């Protein structure tokens, strides 16, 4: 993608050489090696979905990855390093992708399955550009598709919830119904079932990833119905879960109430001050290491190994998913951690396959 930049740089160098040669000013030549290094940089950018870059979840994790790559490679935020464009609606996806192509980035990410159609169209039009899409598969030679085994992370979260609950009532809030969120839900239900068959999980979908107020309304009903743990896989909508849990804890400090985060470690969203002391209502988070995947794939592309037309899947074994540390205030933390570690090893070595669909869940057993 940098061919036109290189051609321009070469023309300028040749022109400068001709002028300097004619003037005989060899002793006054400026060192342009720094500019050449800048042209050789591998630049990368991303387009967020409607959740935004600061959704404290999915998009933010991808942006953390781009920043980490930039820091490792001495890049700065901007068109000559790494950058992002934020989408306010679905209509922005194609426009934003095209804008980054015009800005000549070497690799352009589309964050989220909702960008599949737009990326497919733009990839067909911009055949010389290199793209990567997260959470979807685009069958084009210039698009690398990144997928995750979300069910493995949410299974571990389900194990934690199943052992931590005291009411045997647990909630799950999904954003929009999709294969991705189904993997989160199926894995979570399987994890709860594996350690606590008596527990009941109430699953509800908000129909959006950017409606925090709706997430709060749903979680309020779940907690009112006796749930003491609620897990969300709903992007920005899940921020409402944390607010509701914090409010309930502040109102009744003696009540044991937990929220489970997603994608990133969302511990910071659970802080609530009670009588001058900080408490935290986040039990743990099901990690989806979009940041690790972004760094890994960008590095491969930079080294000339861009996996265009291929699907790369990240699971526990690839450090693509995982579970954040358990809350220190959890009474049976050691017991829960031991069981989580036990299942983690079984999943990594292939002894246990976690269901990723409702159909697979029907026949799932840890035996």
Give the rounded distance of the alpha carbon of 37 from its chain centre. 31
What is the distance between the alpha carbons of residues 324 and 77, in angstroms, rounded to a whole number? 29
The mean per-residue pLDDT over the stretch 337-362 comes to: 97
When pLDDT is cut at 50, 70 and 90, the band that residue 56 belongs to is confident
Write down the pLDDT at residue 329: 96
What is the distance between the alpha carbons of residues 247 and 253, in angstroms, rounded to a whole number? 10
Write down the pLDDT at residue 39: 60
Domains of the chain: which residue ranges? 3-21+42-148+291-316, 150-287+331-362
When pLDDT is cut at 50, 70 and 90, the band that residue 55 belongs to is confident
When pLDDT is cut at 50, 70 and 90, the band that residue 9 belongs to is very low
Q: Do 160 and 283 touch, CB atoms closer than 8 A?
A: yes
Sequence-distant (6+) residues with CB within 8 A of 27 are: none
Q: Is 253 helix (H, G, I), strand (E, B) or coil?
A: coil
Write down the pLDDT at residue 51: 82
pLDDT over 90 at 269, yes or no: yes
Q: Give phi and psi for 261, each to the nearest 5.
A: -85, 180
- Give the residue from 16, 1, 64, 6 showing the smallest Cα distance to 37: 6
Write down the pLDDT at residue 1: 47
User: What are 365's two structure tokens?
Assistant: 């057993």
- Residue 77 has what DSSP assignment? B
pTM of the model as a whole = 0.83
Q: Do 225 and 202 touch, CB atoms closer than 8 A?
A: yes
User: Could you say which of 3.40.50.2300, 3.40.605.10, 3.30.360.10, 3.40.50.300 is the CATH number of the domain covering 3-21+42-148+291-316?
Assistant: 3.40.50.2300
Write down the pLDDT at residue 6: 37
What is the distance between the alpha carbons of residues 60 and 268, in angstroms, rounded to a whole number? 14
| 326 against 236, higher pLDDT | 326
Q: Do 123 and 85 touch, CB atoms closer than 8 A?
A: no
Write down the pLDDT at residue 253: 96
When pLDDT is cut at 50, 70 and 90, the band that residue 228 belongs to is very high
pLDDT over 60 at 22, yes or no: no
Chain segment 104-162, per-residue pLDDT in tens = 999 999 999 999 999 999 999 999 999 999 999 999 999 999 999 999 999 999 999 99
Continuous H helices in 200-238 = 212-224
pLDDT over 60 at 214, yes or no: yes
When pLDDT is cut at 50, 70 and 90, the band that residue 65 belongs to is very high
The mean per-residue pLDDT over the stretch 93-109 comes to: 98
Sequence-distant (6+) residues with CB within 8 A of 97 are: 47, 108, 110, 115, 118, 119, 122, 131
Domains 3-21+42-148+291-316 and 150-287+331-362 share a fold: yes
User: What is the CATH architecture assignment of 150-287+331-362?
Assistant: 3-Layer(aba) Sandwich (3.40)
Radius of gyration, CA atoms only, the chain: 24
Write down the pLDDT at residue 79: 95
The mean per-residue pLDDT over the stretch 56-79 comes to: 93
């Amino acid at each position: 993608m940098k061919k036109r930049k290189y051609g321009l740089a070469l023309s300028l160098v040749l022109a400068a050489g001709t002028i300097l040669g004619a003037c005989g000013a060899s002793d006054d030549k400026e060192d342009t090696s720094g500019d050449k290094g800048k042209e050789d940089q591998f630049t990368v950018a991303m387009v967020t979905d409607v959740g935004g870059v600061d959704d404290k979840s999915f998009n933010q994790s991808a942006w953390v990855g781009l920043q980490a790559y930039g820091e490792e490679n001495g890049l700065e935020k901007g068109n000559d390093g790494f950058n992002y464009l934020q989408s306010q609606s679905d209509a922005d996806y194609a426009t934003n992708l095209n804008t980054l192509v015009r800005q000549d980035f070497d690799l352009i990410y589309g964050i989220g399955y909702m960008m599949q159609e737009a990326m497919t169209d733009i990839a067909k039009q911009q055949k010389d550009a290199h793209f990567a899409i997260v959470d979807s598969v685009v069958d084009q030679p210039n698009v690398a598709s990144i997928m995750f085994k979300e069910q493995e992370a949410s299974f571990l979260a389900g194990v934690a919830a199943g052992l931590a609950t005291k009411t045997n009532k647990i909630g799950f809030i999904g954003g929009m119904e999709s294969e991705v969120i189904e993997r989160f839900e199926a894995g979570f239900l399987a994890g709860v079932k594996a350690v606590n068959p008596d527990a009941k999980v109430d699953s509800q979908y908000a129909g959006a990833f950017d409606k925090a107020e709706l997430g709060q309304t749903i979680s309020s009903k779940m907690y009112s119905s006796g749930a003491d743990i609620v897990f969300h896989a709903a992007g920005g909508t899940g921020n409402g879960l944390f607010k509701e849990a914090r409010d309930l804890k502040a109102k009744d400090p003696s009540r044991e109430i937990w929220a489970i985060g997603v994608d990133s470690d969302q511990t910071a969203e659970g802080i609530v001050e009670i009588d001058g002391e900080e408490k935290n209502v986040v039990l743990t988070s099901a990690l989806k290491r979009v940041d690790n995947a972004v760094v890994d794939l960008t590095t491969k592309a930079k080294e000339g190994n861009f996996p265009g037309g291929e699907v790369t899947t990240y699971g526990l074994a690839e450090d693509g998913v995982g579970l954040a540390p358990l809350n220190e205030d959890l009474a049976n933390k050691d017991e829960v951690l031991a069981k989580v570690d036990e299942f983690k090893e079984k999943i990594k070595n292939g002894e246990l396959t976690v269901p990723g669909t409702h159909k697979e869940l029907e026949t799932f057993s840890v035996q």
